[in-house]
Structure 1
Amino acid sequence: MDIKGELRVAKLADVPPGGLLSVDFGGVRVLLAHADGELHAVRDECSHEAAKLSDGELEGATVECPWHFSRFCLRTGTALDFPAMDPIDTYAVRVEGGDILLSRAAGGADR
């Protein structure tokens, strides 16, 4: 990580519009989602039963869990549908020179 607490995790070209990509961020699996013209980063794990959200479906600014179909807001990490009730971690995303950089300072659950 650099002095700002950021870590380069992927290239912008790796996450085309409408795309999902699971990356490693300091030992944590993080989902990058390119939705509605923005890049979002959330923990790549459903808060209900730990399914990989990167195996789910992108629907606007939400991602749907592949196991029980809970949806999560990519901006806030909020669980939008049962059976998930707890939010997921969100991460700050920045693009620099075609690289995607993540840092922890965004919000959501703090697990």
Structure 2
Amino acid sequence: MSLPEQAEASYVRACALSDLDEDTPRRVELGGVPVSVVRTCGEVFAINDICSHANVSLSEGEVEDCQIECWLHGSSFDLRTGKPSGLPATRPVPVYPVKIVGDDVLVSVTQES
């Protein structure tokens, strides 16, 4: 299998695009990895669902301006980069590449951005 074929094979279906409400995170488990899939800012993002500060689910938080906020202590993470934009979190969380094919949202948890 060539390198591009391997990269294509690493994408798995996370959910249906039509199931994603704007600014409402959806938690999915992909190959044992907890992922929050978010439709916001005209795009779909996939970010590791576990806050790097408090080990809680980010999908239970609020989304605004391409940021997801941890519900426990209020740390926000950029959905494009995973970088925290405020304390108490200081470490980023992984973000994953997303592809839309028809109504399917495909995510590659083997390739971090």
What TM-score do you get using the length of structure 2 for normalisation? 0.89
> In the alignment, is residue 98 of structure 1 matched against residue 106 of structure 2?
no
The CA distance in 1 between the partners of 2:41 and 2:68, in whole Å, is 12
What do residues 37-57 of structure 1 show as CA deviations (whole Å, max 9, x unaligned)? 110000001000111000000
Give how far 1:105 is off.
2.3
Q: Could you say what the CA RMSD is over the residues aligned between the two structures, in angstroms? A: 1.3
Which one has a larger percent helix, Structure 1 or Structure 2? 2
Give how far 1:7 is off.
0.5
What SS class does the counterpart of residue 97 from structure 2 fall into? strand
Q: How does 1:39-54 map to 2 (within 5 A)?
A: 39-54=44-59
The structure with the larger Rg is 2
Following TM superposition, the consecutive aligned residue runs of length 4 or more in structure 1 with deviations greater than 6 angstroms are none
Contact map agreement 2:24 2:62 (CA 8 A) in 1: no
Identity of aligned residues (%): 36
What TM-score do you get using the length of structure 1 for normalisation? 0.90
> For structure 1, which runs of at least 5 residues remain unmatched after alignment?
none
